[in-house]
Amino acid sequence: MSDSLNARRSLSDAVFDRMLRAIKSGAYAVDERLPTEHTLASEFQVSRPVVRDALQRLRDQGLIYSRRGAGSFVRDHGLREPLGFGQMENLSDLQHCYDFRLTIEPEAAAMAAHRRTDNALKEIKSALDLLRDATNRQSHRADADFMFHLAIAKASANPYFSTAMQALEEHIAIGMRFHGMSLRSTSNGLQHVFVEHTAVYQAISTGDAEGARNLMRTHLAGSRDRLFEPKRP
């Protein structure tokens, strides 16, 4: 399978996962029309074929249905699962989110170094490649950033880590968007953070659990501190 097809499949998986969680959480009501492919592609910063693949998977699983010329609609699926986290309302909530991530993601990275598989490493590397492309264009992709961190949580082979990350996706994405803006205003900020991501991946791929734990903690603490200056003790 070509690298471009692998990247498209990875992006399609990410869009599918986010749409699935939105439907399960009740963000879209039964029989509500979903946004157009163009709107979803813009929201997720992906191409329309990627969105089309994700929507087809939702149709195949009986979660949505289509009306010719009218779009896609949510089917009554009986899977309502309200998320356990409320809406982020202020900067204090964002700080709390970073504090929580600092308690779980370093351990997930260490566990991923112990339990990594070839497929798990490929998923992390796929997200890292997207981050490299964005960095080379002097831009930041919050979606690829989240994909990287989620792939590590999945690589831990402990579903509690990945479930917590998925439930917090919207909260984490807000922090990543603000962090991305701060990086673009800093000389070599994007490159510095890409180097941090790469170091975490390399530690996991070589089975260096302690290194992965420390590098992830340093990365997250640095992201937090760049957002909330003056630095907190």
Domain ranges of the chain: 3-74, 91-227
Query: Would you give the DSSP letter of residue 3?
Result: H
Residue-wise DSSP of 159-174: HHHHHHHHHTHHHHHH
pLDDT value, residue 178 = 76
If one compares 95 and 125, the residue with the highest pLDDT of the two is: 125
Map residue 87 onto helix, strand or coil: coil
pLDDT value, residue 106 = 98
* This prediction's pTM: 0.63
CATH number belonging to the domain at 91-227, selected among 1.10.10.10, 1.20.120.530, 3.90.1330.10, 3.20.20.70: 1.20.120.530
Q: Are 173 and 94 in contact (CB under 8 A)?
A: no
Mean pLDDT of the 122-143 span: 90
Question: pLDDT tens digits, residue range 140-186?
Answer: 888 889 999 999 999 999 988 988 888 888 888 887 777 777 666 66
Who contacts 63 (Cβ-Cβ below 8 Å, separation ≥6)?
20, 23, 74, 75, 77, 79
The whole-angstrom separation of Cα 155 and Cα 25 is 25
Where is average pLDDT lowest: 83-87, 182-186, 219-223?
Answer: 83-87
The class of domain 3-74 in CATH terms is: mainly alpha
Common-topology check for domains 3-74 and 91-227: no
Q: Are 134 and 141 in contact (CB under 8 A)?
A: yes
pLDDT at 9 over 70: no
Where is average pLDDT lowest: 5-14, 120-129, 144-153?
Answer: 5-14
The whole-angstrom separation of Cα 171 and Cα 201 is 23
Match 């734990």 to its residue by tokens: 213
Mean pLDDT of the 52-62 span: 90
The whole-angstrom separation of Cα 62 and Cα 139 is 37
The whole-angstrom separation of Cα 108 and Cα 85 is 20
Query: Would you give the DSSP letter of residue 232?
Result: P
